Amino acid sequence: MAGLARLQITTESVSAVDELGFDYILKWSKRRRSLAIEVAPDEVVVRAPFGVNKGYIHEFVVSKRSWVVSKLGLQAHRQAEVPQRQYQAGEVIPWLGEAYRLQVEPGARTRITWQEKAIHIELAPRAQLKTQLLNWYRQQAEHLLADKTSYFAECLGVSVASIQFRKTKTKWGHCTREGVIQYNWLIALAPESVVDYLVAHEVSHRRYMNHGPRFWQTVEKLCPDYLQQRQWLKRYGHTLVL
């Protein structure tokens, strides 16, 4: 039992805001071989191997203070860029990078339609605007991504077993060896050129299950400006929320 306990991560909160300007969480792990710092918008985590002296760990954190403070500032800035949706009439929401204003009126049943630079919503009694809008957006995104996947797969001469849709936190897309492609459907909020890059990226994995030179050459054939679109997604992907 002692051996099993040693495999678990031991966690301790360290108060250092007066000295460093931030507190941090210290996590020991048997599997870790070196010290590492992870910075999230609301916390700093220091990971260390079991047996390392806490004084040595703290000195390590002190030596990285400027870097941590810089990362915290960047994270706070990125967090401030994330839109706060209100789900009400007059609000502007993107679709393929274009702004659409919500027009809402009561109706006998819920019906949502595209209009020029607007999304017109007839909302049934007792229906929740947020729920109806999210469901409709997802349906539109699924159709869009399925069509684009079929198009790029045909261009490349490859097959796709199936397409799945999820709201994931870390990946915009994923392709398995079995040919299952998964998308975070919120990508449909991005400019269409960025959507095309993501689809081209995942479809290209049907040729190469890696990120080697031949893979990127394939992506470039499908999406010549993929570097620009890839950079956009890295810079603004966190703002694609609904």
Which option is the CATH number for 92-239: 3.30.70.2860, 3.30.2010.10, 3.90.79.10, 3.30.565.10?
Answer: 3.30.2010.10
How does residue 174 score in pLDDT terms, banded at 50, 70 and 90? very high
pLDDT the model gives residue 2 = 41
pLDDT at 119 over 60: yes
Q: Where are the domains of the chain?
A: 2-81, 92-239
d(CA 110, CA 106) in angstroms, rounded, equals: 8
pTM for this model (two decimals): 0.79
Instruction: Encode burial over 158-171: b for 16+ CB neighbours within 10 A, e otherwise.
Output: eebeebebeeeeee
pLDDT at 97 over 80: yes
pLDDT the model gives residue 237 = 95
pLDDT at 78 over 50: yes
Phi, psi of 68, deg, nearest 5: -65, -45
pLDDT at 6 over 60: no
pLDDT the model gives residue 44 = 94
pLDDT at 123 over 60: yes
Closest listed residue to residue 11, CA positions, set 53, 41, 46: 46
Return the amino acid letter for 47.
Answer: R
Pairwise pLDDT comparison (179 vs 51), residue with the higher score:
179
How does residue 135 score in pLDDT terms, banded at 50, 70 and 90? very high
pLDDT at 5 over 70: no
d(CA 177, CA 96) in angstroms, rounded, equals: 29
Sign of CA dihedral 144, 177, 233, 80: positive
> Is the separation of the CB atoms in 129 and 118 below 8 Å?
no
pLDDT the model gives residue 8 = 65
